[in-house]
């Protein structure tokens, strides 16, 4: 089966027809309070979208959506692991300020590592502005507590899953979620009114089930899901393309059935014969299949907006919490400073307000909160403690402040004065590693001449290290990061 046959077999042809002429038909929103839909899968790197011409991933919906959207090609996850990204997105603050400095697990619960009830999230602002709010899918900002929920992700020493009480949902009045649960073919959820021990399982691939529910939320038949007299904001947080990669329906594997491993492994930082190549051969085919499946479900959500007559009045953002190395640099996952880990999709569509194009803006995760609120007309309601910067003006008319660097960080559990800090600019990535009783290590990559980051040029580039260290110190001083004084 070739890719054209695959499109017909699994229904992508319907998506293509639905989108035909879509750019021309989109009109300027006439509402004063636009709706908002955020869709973000877990660990989908920017390279895994077909139009980026990097990975051999098949993503026809995102390829089409990119032509209708502003694509920020240099967006990053500043702390590329699950919970820190999510807390930055929700609070507009960096991890040391919102206390989510690691994944929210039982072992980090004594550190207070979870989304703080006292933080004013973007959803709290929208709630106060009269929005109905829905959250579907993975949350992963709640600390698991004893007695632990009886489910598979809580069987080992590390406990991952937990119920989020209504008073900690930050304004989301429609709730269909879990903390983290990685059995994609039989996911677990708590619904809005469910108690802690009243979760349920679903015999359907998670992204498909969540797209089904998102469409129902958008259609809102009989006012069952939201107040029909209010604008809405909906977040759909899909777990795939997260491990385990083999838990993906066979139909999404078909575009890759005739591709060899060598065709799939096209990144030069996956060295032949290395442990990284073994990881890539084991995982990439199914990882890309998951990306194809997520692409299809995103397309169905877009179709739902169009069918409901809401696409012109809705801001749609597609992004991810971080990337994934999958064997690049002999690294299996994320939480590192390399491009495959840090760089994430960022496609935003706002008909008539944001001109479709691509831009190399160095946007950071905390910037998303104020940018969205500003775009929605709530600039004056952005809390003073938000550390991100609104880029709404730049998104709408191309002018405005452009950061010259993006922060990278990793914090060892309970040791905020140590770990890794770095900056990524339009040319370089610099990372400094500082651990107790060990010499500080420096890493520097020229991402222009060495896009696969194959050579650490720190020792031969003292002037660049000095310049970028100064940039890093300015950022860390603003954030009152104790790493500076250790």
**Element spanning 279, H or E:** helix 275-307
Which residues touch 226 (CB under 8 Å, ≥6 apart)?
132, 134, 173, 174, 217, 220, 232
CATH superfamily of 31-397: Alkaline Phosphatase, subunit A (3.40.720.10)
Angstrom distance (rounded) from CA 286 to CA 404: 36
SS3 203: coil
Residue 420 phi/psi, 5-degree rounding, is -120, 135
* Residue 72 β-bridge partners: 359
* Residue 409 β-bridge partners: 421
Q: Report yes or no: 350 and 375 within 8 Å, Cβ to Cβ.
A: yes
Q: Given phi > 0 = left and psi -120 to 50 = alpha, else beta, which region is 356?
A: beta
Strands 346-349 and 35-39: unpaired
| Nearest CA-CA partner of 344 in 365, 323, 364 | 323
| Nearest CA-CA partner of 351 in 34, 18, 19 | 34
Q: Given phi > 0 = left and psi -120 to 50 = alpha, else beta, which region is 205?
A: beta
Strands 174-178 and 132-138: parallel
**Residues in the chain with pLDDT values less than 70:** 1-31
Angstrom distance (rounded) from CA 114 to CA 110: 10
DSSP 8-state secondary structure symbol assigned to residue 462: H
pLDDT digit string (tens) for 207-219?
999 999 999 999 9
Q: Report yes or no: 58 and 50 within 8 Å, Cβ to Cβ.
A: yes
Helical residues (DSSP H) of 203-274, grouped into ranges: 206-219, 261-264
Angstrom distance (rounded) from CA 224 to CA 404: 46
> Is 408-485 assigned to CATH 3.30.2020.30?
no
Angstrom distance (rounded) from CA 460 to CA 445: 11
> And the tokens for 31?
């509402």
Angstrom distance (rounded) from CA 6 to CA 1: 6
CA terminus-to-terminus distance, the chain: 58
The domain spans of the chain are: 31-397, 408-485
Q: Report yes or no: 138 and 238 within 8 Å, Cβ to Cβ.
A: yes
Question: What is the tally of helices (H) and strands (E) in the chain?
Answer: 14, 14
Angstrom distance (rounded) from CA 438 to CA 422: 18
Task: Tell me what pLDDT residue 32 has.
Answer: 78
Q: Report yes or no: 340 and 445 within 8 Å, Cβ to Cβ.
A: no
Strands of 419-424's sheet, edge to edge? Answer: 406-410, 419-424, 428-434, 441-446
| Nearest CA-CA partner of 176 in 205, 206, 155 | 206
| Nearest CA-CA partner of 472 in 441, 417, 429 | 429
**Element spanning 441, H or E:** strand 441-446
Helical residues (DSSP H) of 220-274, grouped into ranges: 261-264
Residue 272 phi/psi, 5-degree rounding, is -55, 135
Strands 200-201 and 232-237: unpaired
Angstrom distance (rounded) from CA 453 to CA 339: 8
Task: Tell me what pLDDT residue 9 has.
Answer: 45
Task: Tell me what pLDDT residue 28 has.
Answer: 52
Task: Tell me what pLDDT residue 18 has.
Answer: 34
**Element spanning 5, H or E:** helix 3-10
Angstrom distance (rounded) from CA 148 to CA 392: 42
């Amino acid at each position: 089966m070739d890719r054209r046959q695959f499109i017909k077999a699994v229904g992508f042809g319907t998506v293509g027809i639905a989108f035909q002429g879509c750019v021309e038909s989109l009109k300027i929103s006439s509402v004063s309070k636009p709706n908002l839909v955020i869709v973000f899968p877990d660990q989908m790197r920017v390279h895994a979208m077909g139009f980026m011409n990097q990975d051999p991933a098949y993503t026809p919906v995102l390829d089409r959506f990119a032509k209708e959207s502003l694509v920020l090609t240099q967006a990053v996850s500043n702390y590329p692991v699950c919970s820190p990204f999510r807390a930055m997105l929700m609070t507009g603050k960096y991890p040391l300020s919102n206390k989510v400095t690691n994944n929210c697990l039982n072992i980090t619960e004594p550190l207070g590592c979870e989304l703080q009830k006292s933080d004013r999230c973007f959803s709290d602002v929208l709630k106060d502005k009269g929005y109905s709010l829905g959250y579907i899918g993975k949350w992963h900002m709640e600390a698991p507590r004893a007695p632990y929920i009886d489910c598979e992700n809580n069987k080992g020493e590390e406990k991952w899953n937990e119920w989020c009480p209504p008073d900690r949902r930050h304004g989301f009045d429609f709730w269909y979620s879990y903390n983290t649960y990685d059995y994609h073919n039989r996911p677990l959820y708590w619904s809005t009114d469910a108690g802690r021990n009243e979760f349920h399982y679903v015999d359907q691939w998670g992204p498909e089930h969540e797209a089904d529910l998102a469409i129902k939320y958008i259609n809102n038949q009989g006012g069952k899901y939201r107040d029909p007299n209010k604008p809405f904001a909906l977040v759909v947080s899909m777990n795939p393309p997260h491990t385990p990669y083999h838990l993906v329906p066979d139909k999404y594997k078909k575009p890759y059935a005739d591709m060899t491993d060598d065709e799939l492994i096209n990144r030069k930082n996956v060295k032949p014969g290395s442990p990284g190549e073994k990881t890539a051969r084991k995982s990439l085919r199914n990882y890309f299949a998951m990306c194809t499946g997520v692409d299809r479900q995103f397309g169905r959500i877009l179709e739902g907006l169009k069918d409901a007559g809401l696409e012109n009045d809705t801001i749609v953002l597609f992004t991810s919490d971080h990337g994934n190395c999958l064997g690049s640099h002999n690294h299996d996952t994320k939480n590192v400073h390399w491009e495959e880990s840090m760089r994430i999709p960022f496609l935003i569509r706002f008909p008539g307000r944001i001109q479709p194009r691509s831009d190399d803006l160095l946007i950071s995760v905390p910037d998303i909160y104020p940018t969205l609120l500003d775009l929605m007309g709530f600039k004056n309601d952005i809390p003073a403690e938000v550390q991100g910067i609104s880029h709404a003006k730049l998104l709408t008319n191309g002018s405005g402040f452009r950061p010259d660097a993006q922060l990278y960080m990793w914090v060892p559990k309970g040791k905020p004065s140590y770990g890794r800090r770095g900056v990524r600019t339009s040319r370089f990535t610099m990372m400094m590693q500082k651990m107790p009783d060990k010499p500080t290590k420096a890493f520097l990559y020229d991402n222009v001449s060495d896009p696969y980051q194959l050579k650490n040029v720190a020792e031969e580039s003292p002037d660049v290290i000095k310049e970028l260290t100064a940039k890093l110190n300015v950022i860390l001083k603003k954030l009152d990061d104790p790493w500076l004084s250790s």
